[in-house]
């Protein structure tokens, strides 16, 4: 069972095909082991949640270690986090949490208000929508994406989604589905598509932040795996620690290079992986890793800040 997570923080353009970015694949592999247990209701988007629900996913983005990630031959889940953001690239040494998250989350929060207002207008008339679009370029929310090897397209992440569109993807036989959070005033969207390189891989791209808790009742425990609840979301640590490397896109070479954070989720599962709802919920269906994985803290310590480890 492989899982690849990709963080795509596209602050502006968003015109690039995400699949194009991920299609080249990432050399690193890790192990994403999950304990068996009840499905967590925690939504993956909580990782992106606003201040009320925990630290932003981007809080978890840590400066890359100086060492290149070891190329693992493990067939186990691979988590690949990719951040694509010119702003971030300008401060590559500190995808540090606070700076990034504060910037991104605040921007999003402010933007959400605007978006909500705009959405009201949009619902009134389409003409008004056109006017807005013509007057200003549409700004995109920060996006977070991950790749999951899965038979199911739509991953259960604890939130309710409504499909509002489907489009054929260029150079891919698989269509891309567009989902929107069904919660009123929550403008989080996500796209789901399959990799044309590996049809077994589902690429899910989230855009925006949920401004509400997961609508699904969450279970109190997860087989000994600590859950992140909404009030202590900061405990979450998306396994976004890893090596940052430039990724040369094979098709859209004109695009600025983005950062790949290659993850080693196997080391994270006990402490953080459980909060990675979508990936976790999905992956745990297929993987039942051995206990030995839990013991490998050497690599974990290499890629996870010590303070994060202490939070377990």
Partner DNA sequence: CGCATTTGACCAGCGC
Partner DNA sequence: GCGCTGGTCAAATGCG
Residues forming the site for DNA (CB under 7 A): 13-15, 17, 122-123, 126, 129-130, 133-134, 137-138, 160-170, 176-178, 180, 182, 189, 191, 254
DSSP-assigned states of every residue in 75-128: -S--EEEEE--HHHHHSTT---HHHHHHHHHHHHHHHHHHHHHHHHHHHH-HHH
Return d(Cα 9, Cα 140) in angstroms, integer: 10
List the structure tokens of 240. 């976004």
Closest CB 203 distance from DNA, rounded Å: 11
Report residue 94: phi and psi, to 5°.
-135, 65
Nearer to DNA, 146 or 178 (CB): 178
Closest CB 79 distance from DNA, rounded Å: 22
CB 290 within 8 A of CB 41: no
Closest CB 296 distance from DNA, rounded Å: 37
Strand partners, 219: none
Closest CB 75 distance from DNA, rounded Å: 30
Nearer to DNA, 73 or 254 (CB): 254
Nearer to DNA, 1 or 169 (CB): 169
Nearer to DNA, 165 or 224 (CB): 165
* Edge-to-edge strand list for the sheet holding 243-247: 79-83, 258-263, 243-247
Closest CB 205 distance from DNA, rounded Å: 8
Nearer to DNA, 21 or 269 (CB): 21
């Amino acid at each position: 069972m492989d899982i690849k997570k990709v963080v795509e923080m596209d602050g502006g353009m968003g015109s690039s095909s995400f699949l194009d970015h991920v299609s080249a694949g990432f050399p690193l592999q890790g192990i994403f082991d999950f304990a068996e247990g009840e499905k967590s209701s925690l939504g993956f988007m909580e990782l992106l949640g606003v201040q009320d629900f925990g630290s932003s996913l981007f809080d978890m983005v840590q400066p890359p270690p100086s060492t290149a990630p070891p190329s693992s031959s493990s067939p186990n889940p691979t988590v690949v986090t990719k951040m694509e953001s010119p702003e971030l690239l300008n401060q590559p040494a500190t995808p540090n949490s606070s700076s990034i998250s504060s910037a991104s989350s605040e921007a999003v929060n402010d933007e959400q208000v605007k978006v909500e207002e705009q959405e009201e207008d949009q619902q009134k008339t389409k003409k008004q929508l056109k006017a807005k679009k013509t007057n200003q370029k549409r700004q995109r929310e920060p996006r977070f994406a991950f790749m999951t090897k899965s038979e199911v397209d739509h991953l259960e992440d604890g939130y309710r989604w409504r499909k509002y569109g489907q489009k054929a993807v260029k150079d891919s036989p698989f269509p891309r589905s567009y989902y929107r959070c069904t919660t009123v005033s929550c403008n989080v969207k996500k796209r789901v598509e399959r990799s044309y390189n590996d049809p077994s891989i589902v690429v899910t791209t989230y855009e925006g932040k949920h401004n509400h808790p997961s609508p699904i009742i969450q279970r109190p425990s997860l087989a000994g795996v600590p859950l992140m609840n909404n009030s202590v979301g900061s405990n979450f640590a998306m396994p976004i620690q890893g090596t940052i490397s430039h990724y040369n896109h094979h098709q859209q070479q004109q695009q600025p290079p983005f950062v790949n954070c290659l993850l080693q989720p196997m080391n994270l599962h006990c402490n953080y992986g459980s909060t990675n709802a979508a990936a976790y919920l999905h992956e745990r269906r297929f993987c039942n890793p051995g206990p030995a994985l839990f013991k490998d803290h050497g690599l974990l310590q290499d890629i996870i800040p010590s303070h994060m480890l202490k939070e377990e």
